[in-house]
Amino acid sequence: MNEAGNTQGIRLLDSTLRDGSHGIRHRYTPQQVELIAGKLDQAGVHSIGVGHGDGLGASSIQYMRSLHTDDELLTAARRVIKRARLAVTFQPGIGTKQQLEWAAELARTWCGSRPTAPRRTSPSSTSGCRGNSGWTCTAT
């Protein structure tokens, strides 16, 4: 809370289910994702990052294979998130155009509208549809 007692300008993005995957060798299960994402959503976290720590499509020999696919983990999180936005990371040179288009298609399915495309303006730039079932793409 700031001096004026206003917290509207503070938004938390929890990356436990994305960056935290490095520490466990990308071995999150869909059941673990559901449990953690559900608790983060209940706690009021604004955005919940899910997936391979190096972004969409990073499950590979170069960046370490994930135990489960991006689709499995994102679907598990989406099942339990009621208020928070679901966030993914996309890094050009790791992810492909097709994977980014796939994420946008998931966003359209979950949001019911076409989100704006992520722009590569800064590491923290985000875009997505508004509302309780929001989707956030974080471009790096």
Instruction: Enter the DSSP assignment of 1.
Output: -
Q: 67: which 2 tokens?
A: 């135990």
CA distance 54 to 19: 8
What does the pLDDT read at residue 23? Answer: 94
Query: What local confidence, expressed as pLDDT, does residue 119 receive?
Result: 36
Alpha-carbon distance of 96 to 84, in angstroms, equals 26
Contact (CB, 8 A) for 104 and 139? no
Residues annotated catalytic, as ranges: 22
Q: What is the pLDDT of residue 115?
A: 39
Question: Which residues touch 27 (CB under 8 Å, ≥6 apart)?
Answer: 21, 66, 67
Of 115, 121, 112, the residue nearest 139 (C-alpha):
121
CATH architecture label of 13-139 = Alpha-Beta Barrel (3.20)
**Encoded amino acid at 139, one letter:** A
Tell whether the model's pLDDT for residue 51 goes beyond 90. yes
Work out the angle at residue 91's Cα, subtended by the Cα atoms of residues 87 and 93, and round it to the nearest 5 degrees.
155
Condensed to tens digits (0 to 9), the pLDDT of residues 2-33 reads 455 566 788 889 999 999 999 999 999 999 99
Q: What is the mean pLDDT of residues 51-68?
A: 94
Sign of CA dihedral 51, 54, 60, 65: negative
Tens digit of pLDDT for each residue in 79-134? Answer: 999 999 989 899 999 999 998 888 878 777 766 543 344 433 333 333 333 333 34
Closest CA to 137 of 93, 98, 106: 106
Read off the pLDDT of each residue in 33-38 and give the average, rounded to a whole number: 98
